[in-house]
Homo-oligomer: A and B are copies of this chain.
Amino acid sequence: MAQDDNIYYTRGMEVPETPEPGATPEFWEKTAVVGKPSPRVDGYERLSGTAVYPSDIKLPNMIYGAILRCPHPNARVKKLDAGRARKMPGVRAVITGDSDAAKNLKWRYDDFTTPLFDPHCRFEGEAVAAVAADTPYQARDALAAIHVEYEVLPHLADHDRALDENAPKVHETGNLVGKDEYSRGDVQKGFARADTVVERTYNTQCELHTPMELHGCVANWDGDRLTIWESSQGVYAVQSTISEVLDLPFSRVRVIGHYMGGGFGSKLQPGKYTVLAALLARQAARPVKMILTREETYLSVGNRPASTMHVKAGMRSDGTLTALDFRCTGPSGAYPAGGTSLMDWLVRDLYQCDNVSCRSNDVYINAGPARPFRAPGHPQGSWALEQMIDELAGKTGMDPVDLRLKNIPEISQARGRMPYTTTGLARCIREGAEKFGWKDAVKKARQHNQSNGHVKHGAGMAACLWIAGGGGQPSTVVIRLFRDGSVNLNMGASDIGTGTKTIMALVAAEELGVRPEMIQIEHADTGTTQYATPSGGSKTVPTEAPTVRNAAVEVKRRVLEMASGDLGVPAEDLDYKGAEIVSRSDKDKRIRVTEVSRLKKRGVVVGVGYRGPNPAGKTVNPFGAQFCELEVNQKTGEIRILRFVAAHDSGRVMNRLTYDNQVFGGIVMGIGFGLTEFRQLDARQTGKLCNRNWHDYKLPTALDVPADMESLPIEIDDPEANNTGAKGLGEPVTIPTAPAIANALYMATGIRFTRAPVTPLEVRRHLDLQKEG
């Protein structure tokens, strides 16, 4: 049996002292593996292609499902004839609204419960029928053979028109999903006290979810037990929805999501496609693979809703913010999904301001429902607020860095003045600016722009916080230590591509003193792994890592108890030192973990860990600031981003490698939001989606992204947040990117680009207007 230190244990690492058994484990003072740059534990599988994603699943006798979708943004199914489809070669199952399998089933949107196949289709892409056939091609051919007669109804595509009296009604109840209001202080008095008041309207376009792996699943029945392999951020969320729709006990619905190719919020919940795959599989008595096309996902699986935001801000000449007034309208799509929610959070809470008023209208339009999209609402709100701050700075001649530093809160004003466990906002801005060379960059750009060249330079920055992060209950993790010293870690959370598994391996490795490679992880399977909430909200690491640590502490406690028998020393006197257990009072009393006799006999020690509670009366949030330098070609309107510096306070850095990956990925996505991505609906005529593929819907590519991106972790010990000090990183990194770019654009061109994305066409249009004006 391999028991060599070199293979099993982290050589030379100083393992922290074990906490008293039962006591809350203390904050790690010094780590051996956590925080160091570590390659992913599943890197080989991911790179070699042996990692099996749901779209790779291949089961014996598997057939392929496909969904017929309504081609109109608003239409009523008058007649549907699937007779010809049923007779097509290879077709094994056809389900329509009339089918016994489907006719009593309901689908629950956030507020509405509709028939699974609702004859009134309120968005282009709503499901109308489904088939399964031996090949995907036969399934598509069968869809084409289904004859549907639609009554096409007037549609609403523009959210700004939603509340007009004569606008088409998306639902009988009208087009208003809801209003959200917030205020503190008195904005009128605030504006009265201001030396400078600025007012401006900002717009962001709808951004479509584009994970690399398409949405989809494989469904298989064993008698009355359903197994689903789903590309998901949360297998338990899929389990509960499917159980409820199909009226099955949770225990009979097993959802597996080992690998998944990105979700960004659009895979927090299952879609109708999962139910349809299950129904088709039951009808055909075969496993059914149902992977959507990119076009289908663009139509139906979610988006970051557009926004129309009006901001009015007041400031005294010393830089004190006296009032912020925010009005916003945003669409949920055809079904409520929190269209405007969180758009105002940064206005409420990022900067010190006594008088704030926010009013948001969430409205329906005839388009696919919105879903959470990396930092829901925040990039939109940031686009408005952070440009406004820049404009205020400009108006008064203050440096935007200094203006922000002037208004740093130590407490969450919007949460009843609850203190943050830690806030690195000031340090992110200050140290980020230093790293970036802010003053020099501004000076250099201004100098450059005095020349007559058509390429202009700009530097811009923006700051942020993220409302969530911090994590919390519930979470359970089971760690098993095998008698040879290797470890199996069992958790329910999904690794949505961010390196969660690797971080959990590091945490277990840190606590147990074994090498991360010795830790095998089983995860994201409702049948065999522990309960976890979906991976999202930048809360996966702050939720799961403390739980993993607690499970590892419990394993150690049990092993110490066992070793106590071998050494004749009370467990409280023993210390766990990686490969060995040593008596504190008599250093000669020591035993290798793998030699502990009860462990050898039992084969395995099990430790169960639960997530502890969050700190009472405090709030845990991550903060950040990003700095951008760019050039604008005034002839072509093209924007070239030269470099980015991103300073983020997310508490403890768990793995420097995946930390930086997250930061760079967030910037890339922010560039897409600011410069390239938008859903183009044919609002005037058909209401249909115009850019439904990667050619027409422009994602940032390698050429759109600067080679020079720097990540500067602002690491502040936060033992109060949780027992690992991690606060969550995934979402904040994409929030301030677009306004930093917009602010740099202003420096380069003197134009406030208030409408995102800022495409070359938009740049040229504004330059033309500028020339004319």
Contact = CB atoms under 8 A, between A and B. Distances in A.
Interface in A30-64: 44-45, 48, 50-51, 58, 60
Interface string A448-492: 000000000000000000000000011010101011111110100
A2 B248 contact: yes
Interface in A1-30: 1-2, 7-8
A252 B531 contact: no
Interface string A527-544: 111110100000000000
Given A223-B48, A519-B251, A243 B1 contact: yes
Contacts of A236: 603-604
A601 B522 CA distance: 24
Contacts of A7: 249
Contacts of A223: 44-45, 48, 50
A704 to B, nearest CB: 34
Interface string A508-552: 000000000011101001111111010000000000000000000
A247 interface: yes
Contacts of A522: 527-528
Given A8-B249, A482-B251, A531 B606 contact: yes
Nearest to A44: B223
A222 interface: yes
B525 A252 contact: no
Given A48-B223, A473-B602, A252 B527 contact: no
A195 to B, nearest CB: 49
Contact of A474 (B60, B529, B603): B603
A249 B486 contact: yes
Contacts of A252: 486, 520
A8 B248 CA distance: 11
A697 interface: no
A486 B48 contact: no
A244 B529 CA distance: 27
Contacts of A240: 603
B44 A484 contact: no
Copy count, this protein chain: 2
A247 B2 contact: yes
A225 interface: yes
B531 A602 contact: yes
A224 interface: yes
A522 B525 CA distance: 11
A528 B606 CA distance: 12
A608 interface: yes
A486 B251 contact: yes
Contacts of A45: 222-223
A8 B480 CA distance: 32
A98 to B, nearest CB: 25
Given A251-B518, A251-B520, A520-B225, A606 B58 contact: no
A420 interface: no
Residue from A44, A485, A522, A528 whose CB has the most chain B CB atoms within 10 Å: A528
Given A528-B528, A531-B602, A250 B8 contact: no
Nearest to A515: B249
Contact of A490 (B48, B473, B528): B528
A488 B531 contact: no
A465 B17 CA distance: 52
Contact of A250 (B60, B482, B490, B526): B482
Interface string A113-157: 000000000000000000000000000000000000000000000
Contacts of A2: 247-249
Contacts of A50: 222-223
A525 B525 CA distance: 14
Contacts of A474: 601-604
Residue from A251, A480, A602 whose CB has the most chain B CB atoms within 10 Å: A251
Interface of A: 1-2, 7-8, 44-45, 48, 50-51, 58, 60, 222-225, 236, 240, 243-244, 247-252, 254, 473-474, 476, 478, 480, 482-488, 490, 518-520, 522, 525-531, 533, 601-604, 606, 608
28 contacts: A1-B243, A44-B224, A45-B223, A48-B223, A50-B222, A51-B222, A236-B604, A240-B603, A249-B484, A249-B486, A250-B482, A250-B484, A250-B486, A251-B482, A251-B486, A251-B487, A251-B519, A251-B520, A252-B486, A473-B602, A474-B603, A478-B478, A520-B527, A522-B527, A522-B528, A525-B528, A530-B604, A531-B606
Given A243-B484, A251-B487, A528-B529, 6 more contacts: A1-B244, A2-B248, A48-B223, A225-B520, A250-B482, A533-B603
